[in-house]
Amino acid sequence: HNVIKKGQEIPCPVDSNGVFTEAVPPVKGEHVKKADPTLIALIKENGRLVQKDNLDHSYPFCWRSDTPLIYKAVPSWFVKVEEIRDKIVKNNNETYWVPSAVKEGRFHNWLTDARDWAVSRNRFWGTPIPIWASEDMSEIVCIGSIAELKELSGVE
């Protein structure tokens, strides 16, 4: 739909507290759950409101704080799999697989259609990625082993 292209900045008018930013002036500073009446009125004023109804449905809540979850675009780190897809498929074809069906079956199909792989998560319980970066990204350190982490941190 050409809303956003790969590599472009992700538009997200909501901050980490679920509050609209200056990107949406009519509701700037308002929590997304409380902005509906204002947004609906604006849509109606612009002649774009087709229908307004209430729909009762289950809604996801944080199991820790029992607060509503807000789905929003967040920055992620990706492995550029698409750039090396041909190499991966070639290596798969040269690998001796047991059972042999892995080579030509679902795994092969997955590799031939592989997309860039999101490896970052913003959850406390996710798999940590051993990369530290300065605020301005001028210094990036990727820890390659436990020994290197001990050496750099000075902690055993």
Q: Determine the Cα–Cα distance for residues 87 and 150; give it in Å rounded to an integer.
A: 35
What does the pLDDT read at residue 123? 62
- Cβ atoms of 11 and 21 closer than 8 Å: no
Q: What pTM does this model have? A: 0.53
User: pLDDT grade, residue 5 (50/70/90)?
Assistant: confident
- Cβ atoms of 21 and 15 closer than 8 Å: yes
Expressed in angstroms, the distance from the first to the final Cα of the chain is 52
What does the pLDDT read at residue 120? 78
